[in-house]
Chains A and B, each alone.
Chain A
């Protein structure tokens, strides 16, 4: 049963040099999320390609749900861009913010499933994990050295934090905005360490992190978010 069916949801897309993939990411946002208290925010982190104009075309033409396109005045980095999006979610009164990557690394089709624990009020953050079913990542094409490295690092990080997360480095994250209000995420790194720092802050505040499996795609490994 959904405790919070009327939650206002922000789908926040971090985009850097994502001109070739952004349209596809936006098109793949599932139909059931369109027009239901859901808005999209794309922040182009000072890309050098046509990311902004691709997103602007969607802003100007999207009839079924609002898409807002912003461009930073200078490159902020992956963490810096996230800070802006979460601040936007707080200032505009959203209840949930779901992070997507403009390079298509994480499947927008998974959004409804990942939103469920937040809509049921059972979690403060939901992470899509590639490692919940340990062999899925390998079957998806993750190289063995990366899989092993991930397992060792995750084991160490869990021991340090007293947690039992299956992985710390997936970028597929959804947060309750109320939870974000309670942590000083604006003090975090502007780079990739942001993702680990926010986990530490959530754990410190005893906020509930829920993991759900997501498919791994190891095709084109170029990550464009910073």
Chain B
């Protein structure tokens, strides 16, 4: 029974109790400090946003209330939106190329995507190569594998995947705040902002007093040590131009400087 309860809370995974359908997209987490509320707050008004791995479009629809236009791409993307400034395209994370020209966007969202990639380094480098002309901003969230509960469980010999959570069975790569920063730094991005996100207590404890107290406590602990107490990591970064693009920009700019003024 205890194992069943722990399986239900995603603390353990037990295949005997995996009887429901596979959940391949995430629910929207609004109304409390979450990766979704923080990510939506980071949207810039009047810009064009690309939501890579948009799932069923829950966040994309919220972003559309702020942005000029949102394009969502995902295997499970809806066929259309009721909002006039949202478009969806079917796209698989495993595909080599994006179905859109990433250089057309001002912000590119990667919410809970990087942990599903086989090779985040190649993905981020390829993305950078295609967007560096416009210096697009990346908005990214991913679970923090160094979260205190995960650390303590590992200390006692447990590294238990579950249907959801930090150790979701479908997560292929896991990051700490430091290793995520290094991923971006080493694939050619300048990190602008990094924040710790509290655990989604309302999803586990219900939307009541207990979950609000736990949220407040988690947020206070994050201020003391986000590497230890952040459940998820939120990061904003800007792609540095590739050397090739920067050289061409330098040559073009220099030619303009050499032209005599009219």
Contacts and interface: CB of A to CB of B under 8 A. Distances in A.
Chain A interface, >50% SS class: helix
Contacts of A186: 242-243
A187 B247 contact: no
B250 A70 contact: yes
B242 A70 contact: no
B94 interface: no
Interface centre among B243, B244, B246, B258 (most CB of A within 10 A): B243
Contacts of A119: none
B187 to A, nearest CB: 8
Interface string B124-151: 0000000000000000000000000000
B250 A71 contact: yes
A65 interface: no
Nearest to B255: A70
Contacts of B246: 72-73, 76, 84
A56 interface: yes
A139 B249 CA distance: 45
B184 to A, nearest CB: 13
Interface in B232-253: 242-244, 246-247, 249-251, 253
B254 interface: yes
Chain B interface, >50% SS class: helix
B172 interface: no
A73 B186 CA distance: 22
B257 interface: yes
Interface string A68-79: 011111001000
Contact of B253 (A71, A76, A87): A71
A56 B258 contact: yes
Contacts of B258: 56, 69
A43 interface: yes
Given A186-B242, A186-B243, A187-B186, A84 B250 contact: yes
Nearest to A190: B240
Contacts of A187: 186, 188
B249 A73 contact: yes
Interface string A27-48: 0000000000000000100000
Interface of A: 43, 52, 56, 69-73, 76, 83-84, 87-88, 91, 186-187
14 contacts: A52-B257, A56-B258, A69-B254, A69-B258, A70-B250, A70-B251, A71-B253, A71-B257, A72-B246, A73-B249, A73-B253, A87-B244, A91-B247, A186-B243
Closest 7 interchain pairs by CB?
A: A70-B254, A186-B243, A83-B243, A87-B243, A87-B247, A73-B253, A70-B250
